Structure 1
């Protein structure tokens, strides 16, 4: 289960490469409501190997009636980024009204924004909105190289010395401990990037003794430690066995097979779709930010929307019991 999606017809009006392996696509959208908050995302119906699927992308600031996204062409993509990169002006698609689960609180005296690679997409909108309202902020933008950084010139003109780049190829390293130490007690940090960056940030934030409620982050659903492989899933109490292809999520396949699942964010953040791991042939690639590192090491539960088995077979328990009846 999840919130009701409001689908809209859309047409591509512009598609251009804005950084190395980063493509920006703008859509004209029928009946699009005016205005949306920074950090919002949209769901897009895509075709992967001839089969329909849904992928989620951050929405960028843009003119009324339009919706823009920026997508990195991932080498281990499940197929969503390839589909978006093939879109050309005039192509028709369907997408949803933007919704936001990565919201600014508007309660902090100072904001620290941290982006890793394509994680700049929600951070870009936040930086523009905070700057336009005269808020105190700093943006730390890290990537493997400057060529992979999108919106560089615009952000530099907007933020000046409030922006700092960290290019790994140039030997520039982001120091999370120093960044957090410079924040006042009521400051807040907003982070989007690879799973390793988010885990390091969460550990550094906890070590600093700050309230976890003042650290906000968003993760990429296709960001794991291992390349995607096909694997089998068994749900013994339901007599179900399904095959999850490399370009599919376990959650999508289970739902398509008629397995009752509770879910919402589809990004490994809310934990609603977590299932119990009964048995697994090999490694589990935990891609969520819901469980702690210690919980992931236990390998007792996993988020079905983003986490995967590294091939082989996995046996799970969804927690559903057909013999349970509602209390009268």
Structure 2
């Protein structure tokens, strides 16, 4: 990622999508597209700041950092017009190794409010290829490439939104929750980590829970916390999301969508909106969450909060 590297020395602000075996979308450069679009190729973005969100605890907690990039060539671009955090939009970061090979990964931006800048918050796993490459970037000197947004989504109407965040998945869940509460929709977050120290945005989540207590609540679950149950707060739980019963107890869900079944026999309740759900994390964790929800009668096809356009 050194600018003097032969592969990046003469890089322009926009380059074609690399011929990577995992890159399925290979569209030609399209000048008529909006400034930030995958159809324009990859956009050069220079690292301008880093900040620590979660401190590392060796052998226990991986650090979390926010990387702020400047989209080169578009200093006044309002990225919020293109990337909708409240609908779970994601972008891909493309990094080029020393041998010229490309690696890429999808991320949920955490801030697009400043013109021409974008924040990406990343959990820096010791064996993470992208994480290790991001850690080597030098502020003000090195750059990456990005493209997006990908898989733009719409939010479906609901009576109550239940958001399940696994680990760093909170970066996508949090802005969705803020918009739901702003729109007056009752919202519950179940935020699952290994340890207390893994939690990101605790102050912000707890503050929103206090200020918007009629609309918002947050529940924390720790899968490896070894403290006694008596030391946990009323909205903290020790355990794993490994059964529908656990999910039902923590979130207080009604089984099998009883309200919706009742609506089929009551003309006055036909317009009742269903509860909807969103689970963000690794694919196995998301699959586990939806399996539990399906056991309670909430299928993903009918109850997912955000669906692709």
TM-score, normalised via structure 1 length? 0.59
Structure 2 gaps of 5+ residues are 1-23, 28-37, 57-62, 228-236, 261-273
2:174 is matched with 124
The answer to which structure has the higher strand fraction is 1
Could you say which structure has the greater relative contact order, defined with CA pairs below 8 angstroms and 6 or more residues apart?
Answer: 2
Indicate the SS of the match to 1:202: helix
Could you tell me whether the CA contact under 8 Å between 1:187 and 1:214 is conserved in 2?
no
2:289 is matched with 201
Aligned residues between the structures: 218
1:91 is matched with 141
Q: Equivalents in 2 of 1:22, 1:217: separation in Å? A: 27
Could you tell me whether the CA contact under 8 Å between 1:180 and 1:205 is conserved in 2?
no
2:84 is matched with 37
The 5 A counterparts of 1:124-163 are 124-160=174-210, 162-163=217-218
Q: Equivalents in 2 of 1:63, 1:108: separation in Å? A: 27
2:248 is the alignment partner of 1:181: no
2:67 is the alignment partner of 1:67: no
Q: Deviations over 1:45-68 (max 9, x none)?
A: 213453332232211133232111
1:299 is matched with none
Could you tell me whether the CA contact under 8 Å between 2:290 and 2:299 is conserved in 1?
no
Q: Deviations over 1:110-137 (max 9, x none)?
A: 1111111111121122112222222210
Q: Deviations over 1:291-318 (max 9, x none)?
A: xxxxxxxxxxxxxxxxxxxxxxxxxxxx
Could you tell me whether the CA contact under 8 Å between 1:14 and 1:88 is conserved in 2?
no
Could you tell me whether the CA contact under 8 Å between 1:191 and 1:198 is conserved in 2?
yes
2:25 is the alignment partner of 1:2: yes
Describe the shift of the 1:198–1:34 C-alpha distance in structure 2 as closer, same or farther (beyond 3 A).
Answer: closer
Indicate the SS of the match to 2:301: helix
Structure 1 gaps of 5+ residues are 219-268, 270-328
Describe the shift of the 1:47–1:34 C-alpha distance in structure 2 as closer, same or farther (beyond 3 A).
Answer: closer
